[in-house]
Amino acid sequence: MRKFIFTLFITLLPLFCMAQSQESIIRQIEQVGSATKSVECSFVQTKHVKLLNDKMVSYGKMYYSAPSLLRWEYTSPYTYTFILNQHQVLLKSAQRQDVVDVNNSKMFKEIVRLMMSSVVGSCLSDDTTFDVSIASVGNEWVATLLPLRRDMKQMWSRLVVHFNRSNQSVVKVEMYEPSGDYTIIELSNIRRNATIDSKLFSIN
């Protein structure tokens, strides 16, 4: 009996250690995220379309200011701007611009919540929305998020978020869709806690 209990303990011990390690990684990421007042970076977005065996590459810049200011701007090969300012969202293209109150749109509210939580890494502890597993790969922590809710599963089969281990910054996000299409967003020139002109988040 003692031998059985000992064997069981030895077998389960690595799992226990892994669970703790994942928790401590998430805690580290969230600590840095909560201490982050602003983020500014460039990004390259590559959309892979399975049906066409083709991809579309876009370039842009992102600005974030805690707790609820976000500017996601595409600069090439087209211009498009998404600005979140408190509870309002501005969608601006060359043809038109629209302002949406996220409180009036459940879907917008959810998308905005997901974007903001991805920027600061708080999506990792959102266990009502995702089943999260984290692995160390080289100098990165790679978090795989499997959607738990039906509405999220309809849009994504899984999300993969890459964190730089040395500074806990998000450096890459992979979004896989049930159809086989996927999008990769790679962040670079990341600056944290620098002063960002508030005009960049202006909705007017």
Contact positions toward other proteins, by CB under 8 A? 45, 47, 49, 51-58, 74, 77-78, 80, 82, 91, 93-96, 98, 100, 105, 107-108, 111, 151, 154-155, 175, 177, 179, 181-183, 185
Q: How far is the CB of 171 from other proteins (least distance, A)?
A: 17
- Please give the helix or strand (H or E) that residue 154 lies within, else none: helix 150-155
- Decide whether 126 or 177 has the Cβ nearer to other proteins: 177
- Decide whether 15 or 51 has the Cβ nearer to other proteins: 51
- Decide whether 23 or 151 has the Cβ nearer to other proteins: 151
- Decide whether 154 or 193 has the Cβ nearer to other proteins: 154
From the list 35, 36, 32, 38, the residue with the least C-alpha distance to 197 is 38
- Decide whether 48 or 165 has the Cβ nearer to other proteins: 48
Q: How far is the CB of 172 from other proteins (least distance, A)?
A: 13
Answer yes or no: are the C-beta atoms of 36 and 191 closer than 8 Å: no
Q: How far is the CB of 185 from other proteins (least distance, A)?
A: 7
Q: How far is the CB of 95 from other proteins (least distance, A)?
A: 5
